[in-house]
Amino acid sequence: MTEASPAPLAKIEFDARPYIVNPGKRFSLHDRATRDDGGLDKQLGKDAFELLRDRLVDLQENLYAEQKRALLVVLQAMDAGGKDSTLKAVFGPVDPAGCRVKGFKKPNDEELAHDYLWRVHHWLPKRGYIGVFNRSHYEDAVTVAVKSLAPKKVWSRRVGHINDFERMLADEGTTTVKFFLHISKGYQKERLQRRLDRPDKHWKFNVADLDERARWEQYQERYSEVLGQTSHKHAPWYVVPAERRWYRNLLITKVLVDTLEAMDPRPPKADFDPSAIVIE
């Protein structure tokens, strides 16, 4: 009898912890790689990603069946950082009945008439659901600061509010996990240029992105501060090297699977005796 070859997953028991932002330490994005493969072979990494994604699909089903807890996934990145393609790759096969993606754009008048967490709170996942935020309340602490959309007194307090808010969510049964898709300024240039070069990508090009690009360093600095101050055991930040897409997808899916396995959602036990039921 030939021995079965080991599953790719078994071969890549890699650790996502080096990508965490450690709570309480001074943090700088400059110290983190934008391009990484964790020393893994690409094909092996892709195979492992598919297995992990299947596992994610199963865990989501259990979370939904259990109806007790929720998972909030926050995605932040500079423009062209790959938020949309991450969503498609990682959450594509997850049952859309139990997973909702919400993108946060510039707040409209109604949203601006409320406190900044109002719109975010409204879109939080309910028990049993995974909620994915494509941009989030972190815009209110980062973009608002970088673009001086409010006085420093206003935006500087928000880190504290956000910490309290995410603590409350953890206490009330929503686990939060946050990903910053990390790219270099050179890589952003390549991706934006691609949108200009390919007519089928013109719709993705937004001239306003160039204004944000001009503030690259300010964004990196403010993100460094905010990530360092808002990463906690109950709501950690992961800085994902995002220039190799297969590795980005693998790492994020690994973290999601680890997070859900730690939550260990279980479908409720039947309150009837299935063997006593006869279907005519």
Name the residue nearer to ligand ATP (CB basis): 20 or 117.
Answer: 117
Nearest approach, Cβ of residue 70 and ligand ATP (Å): 22
Nearest approach, Cβ of residue 219 and Mg ion (Å): 13
104 binds ligand ATP (CB under 6 A): yes
Quick one: what does residue 258 bind among ligand ATP, Mg ion, none, with the CB cut-off 5 to 8 Å set by partner type?
none
76 binds ligand ATP (CB under 6 A): no
106 binds ligand ATP (CB under 6 A): yes
Tokens (6 digits) for 153:
């007194």
Name the residue nearer to Mg ion (CB basis): 167 or 195.
Answer: 195
205 binds ligand ATP (CB under 6 A): no
Residues in the chain: 280
Query: What is the phi-psi region of residue 184: left when phi exceeds 0, alpha when psi lies from -120 to 50, beta otherwise?
Result: beta
222: CB partners within 8 A, 6+ apart: 141, 142, 145, 146
Q: Which amino acid is at 244?
A: R
Is residue 232 within 8 Å of residue 23, measured between CB atoms?
A: yes
Within 10 angstroms of residue 240's Cβ, the number of other Cβ atoms is 29
DSSP H/E element including 61: helix 42-66
Q: Which of 50, 84, 221, 258 binds ligand ATP (CB under 6 A)?
A: 84
Stretch that binds Mg ion, among 63-71, 79-87, 106-114, 191-199 (CB under 5 A): 79-87
Long-range contacts of 275-278 (CB under 8 A, 24+ apart): none
**Which residue, 79, 67, 32, 109, is CA-closest to 193?**
79
Name the residue nearer to ligand ATP (CB basis): 42 or 106.
Answer: 106
Quick one: what does residue 107 bind among ligand ATP, Mg ion, none, with the CB cut-off 5 to 8 Å set by partner type?
ligand ATP
Q: With contacts defined by CB under 5 A, how many residues of the chain interact with Mg ion? A: 1
203: CB partners within 8 A, 6+ apart: none
Alpha carbon distance 228, 28 (integer Å): 8
35 binds ligand ATP (CB under 6 A): no
86 binds ligand ATP (CB under 6 A): no
User: What dihedral angle (degrees, nearest 10) is formed by the CA atoms of 154, 170, 263, 243?
Assistant: 0
Stretch that binds ligand ATP, among 62-70, 139-147, 154-162, 272-280 (CB under 6 A): 139-147
Q: What CA–CA distances, in Å, run from 191 to 103, 194, 206?
A: 21, 5, 12
Q: Which of 50, 66, 79, 258 binds ligand ATP (CB under 6 A)?
A: 79
195 binds ligand ATP (CB under 6 A): no
150 binds ligand ATP (CB under 6 A): no
- Contact residues for ligand ATP (CB under 6 A)? 79, 84, 103-107, 135, 139-140, 143-144, 149, 206, 212
